[in-house]
Structure formats: C-alpha cells, structure tokens
Amino acid sequence: MSLPDRATMLRAFDTRDDSYDGVFWTAVKTTGIFCRPACPARKPKPENVEFFSSPKTALEAGYRPCRRCRPLEPTGETPPWLESLIRELESDPSRRWTDGDLRALGLQPERVRRWFQRHHGMTFHAYSRARRLGEAIGRIREGENVSRTAYAQGFESLSGFNDAFRKLLGKPPTGIDPDRVVRITRILTPLGPMLVGATDGALCLLEFVDRRKLETQLQRISARLRVYLLPGSNSITGEAERQVTAYFDRRLTEFRLPLEAPGTEFQQIVWSALREIPYGTTVSYGEVARRIGRPTAVRAVAGANGDNRIAILIPCHRVIGADGTLTGYGGGLWRKKRLLELESAQRDAFGV
C-alpha cells in the first residue's frame, strides 16, 4: 500500500489527527517503538520518525508496538479496559446502569462516557437505555404485553417506560411498528470501524463511523424508510459483518445481501449502475452518466454517488475523475485509494 507524502504524515502525527488511523503507522528510531498517528505519547523530533504502511512492515523493521496506543489492535476495537462492561451489557441488555455500577467494575464514568460518545454518538447511559428499548420492541413483537415488557426491561413503572419511548422514538410503545426498526451496530475493518444498519429484511446502512455526513444519512434513513433506529444486531447485520470481513480478507468479490436504499428515481438509477461496475475496475463519473443515458448529468451523478449510504456494497469507490484522479469519497480519499488497491491486487492475483 502506498503512503501519503512525508509532510502530510508529519503534520498528521504532530496534530494527533486520528482520521489517519489505518493510513500509516509511525515509528521512533530513538525508542524502537511504533504507534498510531494519534498516539498521546510524547512527540519525538521529526528526524527520528519514520513511517510504515502496516504494523507488519514496522515489526519487520525491528520496531515493537506501543503499549499505550496498541497499534496491533484493529482500529476501533473495544479497548481491554472496557471489555468487562461490554460483556455485562451483552449478557443482560435489560440491566439499568448507574455510575456506581461502573465504578464497581473499576471504571471511571467520564472515561466510559467519552468512549461511547466517540464510537456510538451517545453516552453509555443513553446507549444502554436504547438497548433496553430495543429489547422491549422485540418482546412486544413476540406478543408480550406492554406492562410485563416494561418491568422485564428494568423500568420501575409503565409511565416511565412510555416516557422513555416517547423521548427516544417520538411515540409510545403501542405506536411502534416492530417491523420498521433498524438495528445499528459497529463492525471492525482494516480501514476503521463502520456502522451497519438493517431491518430484519434488508441492509440499509454501511458507512465508516467518522464520515462527516453520517448523522445526516441516519436522519434520511429514518425519514425515508419511516423506521426507528436502535442499537443492536440481527441476522442481516451479522451476515453483513461476515461478508465485509471476507471482502477485506480477499475471500469475497461479490456481495449477496438484500439491500434497501431509498432515494429519488435518479439516485436509484445511479446506484444500480454502480453495482454493475465489475470488482477491481474503475469508471469515470462521465462514463456512469453515459451508461444511464444522461451524458450531461455528470454533476448529478457525482451528487448521487455522495449520497450513497451503503458503502462498498454499492461501490461508489470505483468511480473516479475523468483524468484518473481520486475524487469525492465520503469516507475519505485515503480509504477510496486503499479499497481500489485491495481490489486491484486481488484481480491481478486471481484474474477476477
């Protein structure tokens, strides 16, 4: 994998820019240690820093991993200090948590809050509450009455249960259609964590968590599909994780998942054309416009490309500028470059 120019990497390293996490790794000659770009450790002099495209190449050069930023762990992976809480949360999603409970596990509530805010867009207590409501919707779908569900999910009263539903979803539990719930969870990839979202019937979201327009995309999914977004997983998110993992491991070149991607008629036409671009190849925006019979709609094609909410599966990363330059990728141009390099290497190796 190619690296950005040295000046760019030094600037990112100096400012601890975590958007470059996964793009390169830094190694310090005087300590023999390599780190992530945003490692909080003390910064060395620029002349003592060198850069690598992967932890493997840093290890092969004789450097050892930093114990502070843990560069061998996948980007976005749950840190060891949080694992006990995640296990407790998954074993009993209905549990009501207090700051005292967190301290009893040896955790600082503020530290937990910051991690969940950064990786899930909400505090731990908000995430836990949303998980409880998600479990409640599942119970109601299975025929359990609302009162019994409220107490089973740790709510002390039916009115408190109804208020929590209204605050999060805008409706009481009896007004929620369980079939219109999108489960949202994180999956880890070599290019950083992604959010995956799906109803019980189709995938409707796959996007990198640091995408700038992510919050807007979530709002559009909620409005256009008339669904409710809740933390959790289902069979579709699980299968999406399996296939995405296989894709990055170079074991899969064609995805087989039901998709639900609402948009305008024009967007639907463009997204359909994107799915026809063969693995390991690229086309220009102008070529996509010609393929859909709208040769003058190049800018509109680029706009539809940018509004794609299902990255990789609807391969907008395979569309490039007319002069061959990489432009316009919501997940960051460095990711677009890495995806194309991955597919090109696989195509050349196996003649895909």
- The whole-angstrom separation of Cα 145 and Cα 303 is 46
* Catalytic (active-site) positions: 35, 316
Q: Tell me if 243 sits within 8 A of 257, measured CB to CB.
A: yes
- The whole-angstrom separation of Cα 171 and Cα 209 is 27
* 3-class DSSP state of 53: coil
Edge-to-edge strand list for the sheet holding 181-187: 203-208, 194-198, 181-187, 228-231
Q: Give CA 292 to chain center in angstroms.
A: 30
Torsion, CA 343, CA 345, CA 350, CA 351, rounded to 10:
70
**Cα atoms in the 13 Å half-sphere on the side-chain side of 340:** 21
The helix (H) or strand (E) run that includes residue 342 is helix 333-350
- The whole-angstrom separation of Cα 80 and Cα 223 is 37
- The whole-angstrom separation of Cα 184 and Cα 225 is 15
Listed residue (200, 275, 203) closest to 241, CA to CA: 203
- The whole-angstrom separation of Cα 99 and Cα 274 is 47
Helical residues (DSSP H) of 196-310, grouped into ranges: 214-225, 235-248, 265-274, 285-291, 298-306
